[in-house]
Structure 1
């Protein structure tokens, strides 16, 4: 395996969908090879995703991965994939207002409410149980761009949420101040690593907070244009092993 060269970077934070994973939701052989090389060279490799923890476990296990993960866009930070470090939830007023928006657009949107320990969505909505649950993140999907814009403007006007997306057809909402950048900062604190010693890689708006905060922010070749403008560098696409490319160039 290649030898580690002198570098100021000690950690790399990877988004999953559209970044680490290809269109088949798989980690390519090259990405896997170079992640393992980084781990063996004592580089901290962490995952930062909008997925809940249950959507990370299989991939983390396949990488023999026992490092922190930032999930639900920063609403939860796990010390390892099995040990919760911190959790941030939406308050009651925010939940009630979001429910009203969901009602107004019922039948024209799909939605997912990530809660501690599970999820409610357009197929299994239970108002009573949802009301009692700890809300971590809400995702709203609409194929109609005008409707999505209307919903975004309504949510944004409250100044009560962190709003981003993981695709141009959705909106993702988190408690204020909770994003991948804030989650990554917590992880840095665990290891005594500065943010300028971190590389952050992603493709969507929910990655911009960590791309801007990191010492090197990298947009995937398939990233949204706004993300590319926010990044310091653009790598190959998720179908071309862009993660492997960055690890090779900056750590070996």
Structure 2
């Protein structure tokens, strides 16, 4: 076999597609448009909920599938849900208690919206939870929280930044999300390029035909990736699309 023909590129958003200013560069936008025009599929595979991914999806004019909340939801199109994996309410109570015990910032995505430490009058039992996250710059606290979450043995535990921890139901990851998209489109994971910078990207980077770590990625992401590219400030997405998807 000659060089592999890739059909789909799965993009993490924060730290990958987006600049530090949370914008999509003109170069990246142009490359995505060129890929779509060439008949390739471009999808977002993000830790964000659909609520906060949507402005970018609209800006890019994408009507392709989306993997949101680290695989907790897979969208067939931006307005058609394919699958959703909820967290058990009891688990959310435990994680919420953990955040209070260590007095750290927390945030969580529910079907109904985004909630965090400052959300007033939140009834955990009345909402449908997708993902829970902790944030603290105190490494000691982060270690304790991670150990406690691991001991519960019912979560997929990752991060989207060295100072946070993200939790999804066991078995739910960006890889499971991208695999669902592949089944939907009738393509193989070997035909996928996946790009990311954080621990929550490792699963899809390992499962994809070509796993790309960002130049600004966490060290362990670079170690498992097939290639490491430039940073999110240097239009990495455009570079990878030009080099591997369109050539």
Tell me the SS of whatever aligns to 1:112: strand
Unpaired stretches in structure 1, ≥5 consecutive residues = 1-5
Match of 2:43 in 1: 46
Q: Distance in 2 between matches of 1:187 and 1:17?
A: 21
Unpaired stretches in structure 2, ≥5 consecutive residues = none
| Count of residue pairs brought into register by the alignment | 244
**Pair 1:86-2:58 in alignment:** no
CA contact (8 A) 2:93 2:124 kept: no
**Pair 1:101-2:98 in alignment:** yes
- Deviation of the 1:149 alpha carbon: 0.7
1:29 to 26, 29, 48: 26
Match of 2:64 in 1: 67
TM-score (norm 2): 0.96
Structure 1 runs of 4+ aligned residues shifted over 4 Å read none
RMSD: 1.1
Match of 2:158 in 1: 164
Q: Distance in 2 between matches of 1:97 and 1:25?
A: 32
TM-score (norm 1): 0.94
Q: Distance in 1 between matches of 2:203 and 2:215?
A: 18
2:115 to 117, 120, 126: 120
CA contact (8 A) 2:17 2:232 kept: yes
Tell me the SS of whatever aligns to 1:56: helix
Match of 1:15 in 2: 12
Q: Distance in 2 between matches of 1:187 and 1:158?
A: 29
Tell me the SS of whatever aligns to 2:81: strand
**Pair 1:193-2:190 in alignment:** no
Match of 2:140 in 1: 146
CA contact (8 A) 1:73 1:174 kept: yes
Q: Which deviations, in whole Å up to 9, do the C-alpha atoms of 1:47-105 show, x marking residues without a partner?
A: 00011101111111111100000000110111111111111011133123212212212
Match of 1:216 in 2: 210
Q: Distance in 1 between matches of 2:73 and 2:63?
A: 16
The verdict on how the C-alpha distance between 1:125 and 1:178 changes in structure 2, with shifts beyond 3 A counting, is: farther
Match of 2:74 in 1: 77
Q: Distance in 1 between matches of 2:66 and 2:121?
A: 29
- Deviation of the 1:125 alpha carbon: 4.5
CA contact (8 A) 1:219 1:233 kept: yes
CA contact (8 A) 2:12 2:44 kept: yes
CA contact (8 A) 1:120 1:126 kept: no
The verdict on how the C-alpha distance between 1:93 and 1:230 changes in structure 2, with shifts beyond 3 A counting, is: same
